[in-house]
Amino acid sequence: MSYLLNALSFIVELAFGAAAALFVLRLLAEASRVDFNNPLSQFVYRTTNPVLAPIRRLLPNWRRINIAALLIVWLLMLIKRIVLFALLGLFPHVLGLIVLSIADMLDFIAMFYVVLIFIWSLMSLFQVETYHPVYRLAGSLVAPLLRPLRGKLTAGGLDFAPWAVMIALILARILLVSPLADLGARLALGV
């Protein structure tokens, strides 16, 4: 039975992760002012707009942060946690679910950035055409994180700023998100 439960948990994680990735892309694209003429940007906009448009009437953007997209990502993480607990036959406390879903959202965004920076670094290493839509989108999304360190961590013609940012994001996951997730798990299970 545990093999089936693991398979179902994997499918739930995959489905909710794919949906959350679209809304995180929309959130980061608006915050980074990504080029809207990019076909990938247009795809993300067209895919997420039917869900976000009604919510944005109630929750407008704050500066360049799309509050509606952030809310949807949090709700996706909350529903994912509820489904995973239901698969185990547990009904957790609401406060624990809220804290766990916030931790999941922060963890997802941090890992999203780590993967995005890694992909962008590989693409720049292999000299992908700079007009490629994926390269342009990834470059626009990682630029705000890399800008403070650009040119300050170079050695031998190599820029180590992407690696420093990835290490900082992984440390943030370990030192900030993991304790928050542990607190949420304790609250959810009433331990």
pLDDT in tens, 91-119: 999 999 999 999 999 999 999 999 999 99
> What's the pTM value of the predicted model, to 2 decimals?
0.91
Cβ(150)–Cβ(60) under 8 Å? no
1 pLDDT higher than 60: no
Integer Cα distance of 127 and 138 in angstroms: 14
- Give the residue-averaged pLDDT of 126-134: 81
* More confident call, 186 vs 156: 186
The whole domain housing 53 covers 2-189
pLDDT in tens, 22-66: 999 999 999 999 988 899 999 999 999 999 999 999 999 998 899
Count of domains in the chain? 1
Cβ(71)–Cβ(152) under 8 Å? no
When pLDDT is cut at 50, 70 and 90, the band that residue 127 belongs to is confident
